[in-house]
Amino acid sequence: MHPLVLQYDGDSEEKISKIMTEEIIIAGFGGQGVLSMGKILAYSAIMQDQEVSWMPSYGPEMRGGTANVTVILSSERISSPIINTFDTAIILNQQSLDKFENSVKPGGVLIYDGNGISRHPERRDINIYRIDAASEAAKLGSAKAVNMIVLGGYLKVKPLVELQNVVKGLAESLPQRHHSLIPMNEKAIKRGMEIVNTVHEVG
Amino acid sequence: MKELKLMKGNEAIAEAAIRAGADAYFGYPITPQSEVLEYLMAERPHERTGMIVLQAESEIAAINMVYGGAACGRKVMTSSSSPGISLKQEGLSYIAGSELPCLVVNVVRGGPGLGTIQPAQSDYFQAVKGGGHGDYRLIVLAPASVQEMADFVDLGFELAFRYRNPAMILTDGALGQMMEKVWLKEPKPRMTEYPEWATTGKTPDRERNIITSLELDSGRQEKFNLKLQAKYREMEEKEVRYETIECEDAEYLLVAYGTSARICQKSVQVARENGIKVGLLRPMTLFPFPKKILREMAPKLKGILSVEMSTGQMVEDVMLAVNGLVEVEHYGRMGGIIPAPDEIVSVLEEKFIKQNYYG
């Protein structure tokens, strides 16, 4: 039976000092695997007992246009799944860079795929990393690996989730018939960790 | 067995229905709740539990199939989004008038008319004040997480059968589309025995059961109306559910349900970081509405802000509850726009704290 009254009086001082919350926006073209990257990240965090939320943009813009998803990982109960500033922005096209560059919190992280970008990030109060995942995926012979290469780059910059939990997350989020693809995805993640470059870091 | 999953709110509702031992789901697709029907079709529940899933030819057909199934004492449900729920109102009125249990899910989108497919909370009046014609109420549950989307399915059925009354889960496109961690409950077997009022075929040892909402004798109809009202008063007595968040020392109170309540939880944090003592009252049942707790809290408060993704509907129930004891204001965004946490804090300051500068 569901209780009639729930009461939540905030967290104790001691608990607050240990709270980890990471608010992420992942944005790009529909079909680049933006939503599934978010889903794998969320599943990976569940594997290490964290709270997660995954909030996609939905509607007509999903068909061919831009797609984005807000993912929150936290050691605590997540309040709003919808937010307008982010700790990290993972950006896969120019349109999304223009839209979300200013939404990164000062001192936060912006990771972008430089392929097809003409106006590069300009802010100097955030940490900027570049990962040319689309061209690397072509070299690996799998265009579909783009999102996993980018995920690798993110995990290198912010190692919040352990690689073994990402592999477990992959197993949970992929249907059984695609489990043969897990080693390839793992390889792409590791490659992403190697090729991510620092553009600018805040002192 | 209990299972941990990452699921969309819509999918959680569908899976929870199978696990609640539902006998049938009748539906018709509409954004942003089509995943309920899609998930049920893909999951083939007739192979798991024998549950029937049927895509009807329209929303009206679906609700009347629910009417039929409920008359037979079965656990039946439907789901839709705002325009589709409007189509179901006639059926809902008949179901309430026939005192039948069922579960209806409304994954609300912006209106009026076809409006937008983006989330809104503009169907509050329709859900809590009756919706169709005649003096009736639905039991209205308002989940604020994917976990509650799942939990309230079983709760909805339970309350619907306890009171022989239709129950509604009033949620919105954001909760329907978002994924969160959800603990799925141990599956319940489907019923094998049905309530005594159910039309399951007359046996020689009892009178026949008649399910109808028609009563042409005015005296008897009035008596029936009073019976329904007594039932609603009993729900108000026993079934109010809510959550309080940091209300203990609060000077200002936000009242919000569903997605708005999630945003407001963050607003509470933001406001407290700025030194404003704000709490949140989150109704989990919208009918019955948590009037009593609001009335108790009112004298200690300097202001209440009702936050809704509508032009202001629940705010009327908040005002009725506090009956002038404290100032009540409303803030809402429409058309699929979801207010930001800091935007709500600014509005709270604007409406209650800064007003002294002008006055």
Contact A43 B6 (CB under 8 A): yes
Mean confidence (pLDDT) of chain B? 96
Residue-wise DSSP of A29-46? ETTSSHHHHHHHHHHHHH
From the CA of B216, how many Å to the nearest CA of chain A? 39
Quickly name the fold that domain A20-200 has: Pyruvate-ferredoxin Oxidoreductase; domain 3 (3.40.920)
Instruction: Give the C-alpha separation, B341 to A83, whole Å.
Output: 8
- Residue spans of the domains in chain A: they are 20-200
Domain boundaries, chain B: 3-202+226-238, 244-358
pLDDT at A59: 63
Mean pLDDT in residue range A79-88: 94
Minimal Cβ distance to B174: which of A5, A9, A55: A55
pLDDT attached to residue A36: 92
Q: Which two tokens stand for residue B173?
A: 């496109």
Mutate to test the interface with A, among B181, B259, B262 (most CBs of A within 10 A): B181
| ipTM here | 0.91
Distance, in Å, from the CA atom of B91 to the CA atom of B98, rounded to the nearest integer, reads: 10
pLDDT of residue B359: 44
pLDDT over 80 (residue A3): no
What residues have CB less than 8 Å from B273, skipping those under 6 apart? none
Q: Could you tell me which residue, A144 or B110, shows the higher pLDDT?
A: B110
Predicted confidence band of residue A112 (pLDDT cuts 50, 70, 90): very high
Select from B151, B153, B143, B152 the least CA-distant residue to B175.
B143
Q: Treating both helix axes as pointing N-terminal to C-terminal, what angle do B9-19 and B34-43 enclose, rounded to 10 degrees?
A: 50
What is the number of other CB atoms lying within 10 angstroms of the CB of residue A63? 9
Q: What is the mean pLDDT of chain A?
A: 91
Q: Which residue of A has its CA nearest to B153?
A: A2
> How far does the CA of residue A158 sit from the closest CA of chain B (Å)?
22
Which residues of chain A are at the B interface, by a Cβ-Cβ cutoff of 8 Å? 1-10, 39, 42-43, 46, 51-56, 58-60, 78-84, 172-173
C-beta atoms of B244 and A7 within 8 A: yes
Q: Which CATH number fits domain B244-358: 1.10.8.420, 3.40.47.10, 3.40.50.150, 3.40.50.920?
A: 3.40.50.920
Q: pLDDT (tens digit, 9 = 90+) per residue, A166-179? A: 999 999 888 899 89
Partners of B239 on chain A (C-beta within 8 Å) are: 4
What are the strands of the beta sheet with A86-91, ordered from one edge? A197-200, A127-130, A104-112, A86-91, A21-29, A66-74, A51-56, B179-184, B3-8
Nearest-neighbour CA in chain B from A83: distance (Å)? 7
SS3 A17: coil
**What's the fold here for domain B3-202+226-238?**
Rossmann fold (3.40.50)
- Residue of A8, A24, A80, A85 to mutate, interface with B, max B Cβ within 10 Å: A80
Omega before B288 within 30 of 0, i.e. cis = yes
pLDDT at position A66: 81
- CA-nearest residue to A41 within chain B is B6
Rounded CA-CA distance B276/B331 in Å is 18
Q: Do domains B3-202+226-238 and B244-358 have the same CATH topology?
A: yes
| Residue range B83-113, pLDDT digits in tens | 999 999 999 999 999 999 999 999 999 999 9
Of A8, A39, A79, the CB nearest to B266: A79
CB < 8 Å to B269, chain A: 79
pLDDT of A11 over the 90 cut: no
CB contact under 8 A, B241 and A79: no
Q: How far apart are CA A15 and CA B272, in angstroms?
A: 17
Nearest-neighbour CA in chain B from A25: distance (Å): 14
Q: Which residues of B touch A8 (CB under 8 A)?
A: 243-246
**Which regions of chain B are under pLDDT 70?**
1, 355-359
CB atoms within 10 A of CB A47: 17
Contact A107, A126 (CB under 8 A): yes
Q: Least CB-CB distance to B243: which of A1, A6, A52?
A: A6
Tens-digit pLDDT profile for residues A31-48: 889 999 999 999 999 999
Sheet with B252-255: list strands edge to edge.
A5-8, B242-245, B278-283, B252-255, B303-308, B328-332
Is it the case that residue A2 has pLDDT exceeding 80?
no
Chain A hits for B117, CB-CB cut-off 8 Å, are 58-60
| CA R_g for chain A | 17
Range B246-265 burial, b when 16+ CB lie within 10 A, else e: bbeebebbbbbbbbbbbbbb
Q: Taking the mean position of all CA atoms in its chain, how far away is CA A1?
A: 37
